[in-house]
Amino acid sequence: MIEQLAGSWNYIIVVILMMTGLFMVIARANLVKKMIGLSIFQTSVFIFYISLGKMAGGTAPILDGNPDTLYSNPLPHVLILTAIVVGVATTALGLALILRINEAFGSVEEDEIIAAKASQSLARPKRPTSEAAE
Partner 1 sequence: MGAAILTNLPALLVVVPLLLAPFSAVLPIAGLAWVLALIGTGISFLAALLLQSVTENGVSISYHLGNWEPPWGIEFVVDSASSLTLVVMSGLGFLTTLAARHLVAVEIAYKDSGKFYAAWLLVIGGLFGLVMTADAFNLFVFLEISALASVILIGMGAGTDRRALVASYHYLVIGAVGATFYVIGVGFIYAITGTLNMGDMANRLPDAAGGTALYVGFGFMVAGMLVKAAIFPVHIWLPAAYGYAPSAVSTLLAAIATKAALYVLARIFFTIFGGTPEIVDIALSNVIVPLAVGGIFVGTIMAIYEADIKKMFAHSSVAQIGYIALGLALATPAGISAGFIHIGNHALIKGGIFMAIGGFVAALGARASLETITGIGRRMPITATAFLICGLSLGGLPLTAGFISKLYLVRAILETDSYVLLALVLISSALSVVYLWKVMEVMWMQPAPARSPKLVENPAIYLPLWMVALGNIWFGIDAGWIVGAARLAATALLGGGA
Residues forming the site for partner 1 (CB under 8 A): 22, 25, 31, 34-35, 38, 41-42, 45, 48-49, 52, 75-76, 79, 82-83, 86, 89-90, 93-94, 97-98, 100-101, 104-105, 113-114, 118, 121-125
Q: Output the smallest distance, CB 18 to partner 1, in A.
A: 8
Q: Output the smallest distance, CB 12 to partner 1, in A.
A: 15
Q: Output the smallest distance, CB 121 to partner 1, in A.
A: 5
Say whether 117 sits in a helix, a strand or coil: coil
Contact criterion met (CB below 8 Å) for 7 and 51? no
Contact criterion met (CB below 8 Å) for 75 and 53? yes
* Short-list 128, 112, 109, CA closest to 120: 112
